[in-house]
Amino acid sequence: MTKTALVTGATDGVGRVVAKALGEDGWRVLVHGRDRQRGETLVQEVEKAGGSAAFLAADLASLGEVRRLAAEVRKTTDRLDLLINNAGIGTAGNGRQTSADGHELRFAVNYLAGFLLTYELLPLIKAAAPSRIVNVSSAGQQAIDFSDVMLTKAYSGVSAYCQSKLAQILFTVDLARELDGSGVIVNALHPSTYMNTTMVRRAGVSPMSKVETGAEAILQLAVSSRLDGKSGLYFNVMNEARANPQAYDAEARRKLRTLSLELTGVKP
């Protein structure tokens, strides 16, 4: 049976390389992005590589769009072997921005969208077990300030990005415990430092590593037998590592989960 993957943020950077690699391995790849032209070009490239593909457009700055994306996935398949939450926005930008729902933009796109999408698609992921969820996080991590999660008092793009990326890891640890025994594993990683991507260049940073390096790290968590039965872990590129200590704080994870359920309306 052909395996199906959804890769968010697949029309550019490391997500594009990962989608093509899965296609070469014979996967059916649901590629997500905002730009239809780039998405359709990627579909052709995946099919040329030997896989099959479909493009699904959605702006993850809107929780309504996230729900619509999940509905499109459900129309397309009744099982999902792999979900890669890769879409995100970096540190560049002019001051504090908010999402369509009024949440701090980086927290909304980098974290809340993946939280909601994962729960929306969990029945399909469980139906495909053994299956996997990969959360593409970062080594840039900052403890979440639960008194001002939306950074209304003191804002910086770097703080917003680093907080949102740590939130992904707290979610990973928490979800792994929830899914224990289900046959679904979930892990997070820092794919590589300052890859040659649009996000990095927009931040005014000189790239230090190749997207292919990050793709290899993501694909390890996605398909390698080395990860069979291993869940709730954080990897620094190819190696298991320790995240910011807050990721292992049960009370912090409980607070984040409570807030996330409230903001997204998810009922697990």
| Residue range of the domain that includes 222 | 4-264
- Could you say which of 111, 119, 161, 234 is catalytic? 161
Quote the tokens at residue 168.
């992904």
- CATH number for the domain including 22? 3.40.50.720
Q: Which of 78, 266, 58, 236 is nearest to 174 (CA)?
A: 266
Give pLDDT tens digits for 189-198: 999 865 555 5
In the chain, % of residues over pLDDT 90? 87
pTM > 0.85: yes
pLDDT for res 91: 81
The letter for the amino acid at 112 is L
Partnered with residue 82 across adjacent β-strands are 5, 132
154: left (phi over 0), alpha (psi -120 to 50) or beta: beta
Give the sign of the dihedral formed by CA 196, CA 191, CA 165, CA 21: positive
* Confidence label for 210 from pLDDT (cuts 50, 70 and 90): confident
Give pLDDT tens digits for 2-44: 999 999 999 988 999 999 999 999 999 999 999 999 999 999 9
Q: What's the number of domains the chain is made of?
A: 1
**Range in 15-19, 26-30, 55-59, 200-204 the model is least confident about:** 200-204
161 catalytic residue (yes or no)? yes
Give pLDDT tens digits for 121-164: 999 999 999 999 999 999 999 999 999 999 999 999 999 999 99
At 244, is the secondary structure helix, strand, or coil? coil
pLDDT for res 92: 74
pLDDT for res 97: 95
Answer yes or no: is pLDDT of 49 > 90.
no
Evaluate whether 110 touches 165 at the Cβ level (below 8 Å). yes
Evaluate whether 247 touches 49 at the Cβ level (below 8 Å). no
pLDDT for res 194: 58
At 4, is the secondary structure helix, strand, or coil? strand
Give pLDDT tens digits for 69-127: 999 999 999 999 999 999 999 887 779 999 999 999 999 999 999 999 999 999 999 99
Distance CA 29, CA 203 (A): 29
Give the sign of the dihedral formed by CA 194, CA 141, CA 217, CA 215: negative
E strand or H helix at 32: strand 28-33
Q: Which of 159, 162, 136, 125 is nearest to 234 (CA)?
A: 136
Answer yes or no: is pLDDT of 185 > 80.
yes
